[in-house]
Structure 1
């Protein structure tokens, strides 16, 4: 029996000999295998009295070809066999229920973002309801079909699909936020500074779009002897594997530090961790570690391919700590050594550790980068304005982004430890 799906009028409006379709009109893709077409409804109009455009396909292969982005809705005849004669039941020649819904499932796979209506006989109401449970937006009975009913069903299906997609994206966004928050707790730890007179501040911005995590990592802990240990590091790369490796290195550093390791011995052990955990041999990580004496006046500094920290003191311009004999990045050279240098801090100071994402951002539209010298000048400007702590870090990262002309492409982490300063 012919399938009564709608047909456009034979004489559409024309302009300069060409058919004119309203820009706001919807497009319906009809999938049915009746050789005669069976298009009996004369016209379908949307809510604004625009004609709904029709495309027809006799099988899923044709449907895949016609399923362009401007298609809004699909009308599927549930009697369409999923695999030709092999899909027919041996008993009566009709289509098996499972096969019919399998055809619908195939349509949903090839058109996950399109609204889908199913067409069936009134006697198959149970099967029609099952089709909606499988994923169709609504069902229609052949014997009741007319242009007005179909037009309303199309509008409803399109809006319901949009709402479903929006709800799915919202749920996905919430799950991603929850998962990122759990991971963020591992990457951005709470400093363990109980009993210390040092003040701590930090800022972190990942380079990956819509990510909370990057390959940069940092931590700060105070050991029982009163020494404050701080570190900041950067795993090369920007993907989730690098972020995960950064978390592993950060946790390993905290455990090793609390166990009493320091300097070269600690970095050598971290290199062993990296070599075991990294996804490929090309991955390396830079690292800066600082151990501040209990009286807060001296510090031991180790650099593994990482930029030197910045120190500022009252009444003096901020400057980079001198460090000529830094060791290589972790993972580059087997059996490498990382010499520890003693640094005099004084009575009042602020020490800023950072990753290269802060200094490698561009300045304006050219190829010039901010660099360490540009960063020092920027920090001194903010210090002259009286900024310190969280406000200093926020202003510095914001200005680096502004100079770059937009978001920084690399991860950025900055840690600030202060003593005796406002």
Structure 2
């Protein structure tokens, strides 16, 4: 609970050398009539500022209900010695009108009455109304001398501090205003920081939930994946992948890449992955599946220039052969015992999704053999730089790297981890593009 600042003995305005803020006519400083020249000035600008004098640093809004203006507020200065502007409102309606963006602090007389605001404690009902009206402003409660209990309750409700009405002096009030404003700023910054942390945690939980869980129950194939988004502090990027086994025993694997790296691209990648899974489980494959995915992309993308590359593989139930479709995507790498790792054929590579209306994507039949490892990847794995130059790793460099790692006995998760880490090291730091790698292994 907020703790009030320790009170000091008030110094009367006469002793402090400060005069009450009241003109001979009884108006407060800012209640004086405006001339045509001042009426044309922007809000928060005084005649003095228009003539080149220093603009006041802080503005105080006094809300009190005594028509005679019995609350004598002394001349105030901020920490730099500049005058603090004072506005006076006689009721909540007038206060709402005067509560502009340049007001930093509100001094509320708890004796203020407001018809329509009722409850167990009308004074605090008015305070609660002001706090709802001005959630971003510091609020000081003004109460009768000796009524510390009421002031403490006001602080508990939400005021930054409380003051006694008959103990106001320039030094005490100026310090209280500065304290209240800074405390409100600190509380606001702390709340925003906490809200930002909560949003970040929620986003991470959401993104983690959107990452795929392979559906391979009943399959003898081993699955491994590695995912690294290019966006800072993100779990999800524009790359996407998935693997499912249909009732006939066929294992379908997919990997894709939406152009761009922002949250919109990540969301589109999730939509395409979910659509692919649904269509695959419904029995679509090859050209028919990719054509439907292109329709999904065209309806969901935020810009006509956004496209996505895709690689799909459907592995026969016996595990010895597969169908391959490429939509502007790099061809998978296959490794078999006694043979060097190499890329699968990519001569019939079709266009990326979203580029050509009515495009076709031929399905190629490839022989896998009895024992193999099939690696699907996005271009983030091959487009990292090598050292300080402009040369990139490329597919040939990736193939050589994987061959060496396989020769070192790396398999499964260890192989993918080593591949992604080496690509990052060759790049001289974190990769700017998303990286997704998927590995399927078949061992007799």
Q: CA deviation at 1:397?
A: 2.0
Separation of aligned partners in 1, 2:405 and 2:80: 62
> How big is the shift at 1:344?
1.7
Is the 2:75–2:170 Cα contact (8 Å) retained in structure 1? no
**Tell me, which stretches of 5 or more residues in structure 2 are unaligned?**
1-19, 23-55, 63-72, 113-122, 141-161
- Assess if the C-alpha contact under 8 Å between 1:218 and 1:232 holds in 2: yes
Does 1:174 pair with 2:198?
yes
Which aligned pairs between 1:278-293 and structure 2 lie closer than 5 A? 278-293=301-316
- Please identify the structure whose Cα radius of gyration is greater: 2
Residue number in structure 1 paired with 2:185: 161
How is 1:46-61 mapped onto 2 (pairs within 5 angstroms)?
52-56=79-83, 58=85
Alignment partners' CA distance in 2, 1:356 and 1:151: 61
Q: Map 1:117-128; keep pairs closer than 5 Å.
A: 117-121=105-109, 123-124=111-112
In structure 2, C-alpha distance between the alignment counterparts of 1:415 and 1:55, rounded to whole Å: 66
Q: Distance in 2 between matches of 1:154 and 1:394?
A: 55
Cα drift, residue 404 of structure 1? 2.4
Report the secondary structure of 2:199's partner residue: helix
Aligned counterpart in structure 2 of residue 232 of structure 1, from 244, 255, 279? 255
- Whether the 8 Å CA contact 2:61–2:107 is kept in 1: the answer is no
Q: Would you say how many aligned residue pairs link Structure 1 and Structure 2?
A: 346
Matched position secondary structure for 1:270: helix
State the TM-score, normalizing by the size of structure 1.
0.72
Q: Within 5 A, what are the aligned runs for 1:34-49? A: 39=75
Q: Is the 8 A contact 2:61 2:99 kept in 1?
A: no
Change (3 A) 1:363 1:57: farther
1:97 is aligned, of 92, 97, 106, to: 92
Question: CA 1:160–1:341 in 2, change beyond 3 Å: closer, same or farther?
Answer: same
Structure 1 pair 180–346 and aligned structure 2 pair: CA distance change class (3 A) = same
Residue 350 of structure 2 corresponds to 327
Aligned counterparts of 2:206 and 2:107: Cα–Cα separation in 1 = 46
* CA drift at 1:170: 2.4
* 1:221 CA displacement: 0.5
Residue 273 to residue 257, structure 1, CA distance change in 2 (3 Å): same
RMSD of Structure 2 on Structure 1 (CA) = 3.1
The equivalent residue for 2:300 is 277
Find the aligned partners of 2:233 and 2:442 in 1 and give their Cα distance.
35
Determine whether 1:201 maps to 2:189.
Answer: no
Are the counterparts in 2 of residues 219 and 231 from structure 1 also a CA contact under 8 Å? yes
In 2, are the aligned partners of 1:118 and 1:128 still within 8 Å (CA)? no
Residue 352 (1) aligns with residue 340 (2): no
- TM-aligned CA distance change 1:216 to 1:201, over 3 Å: same
Partner of 2:144: none
Structure 1 residue runs without a partner (length 5+):
4-27, 45-51, 59-76, 81-93, 109-115
TM-score by length of 2: 0.69
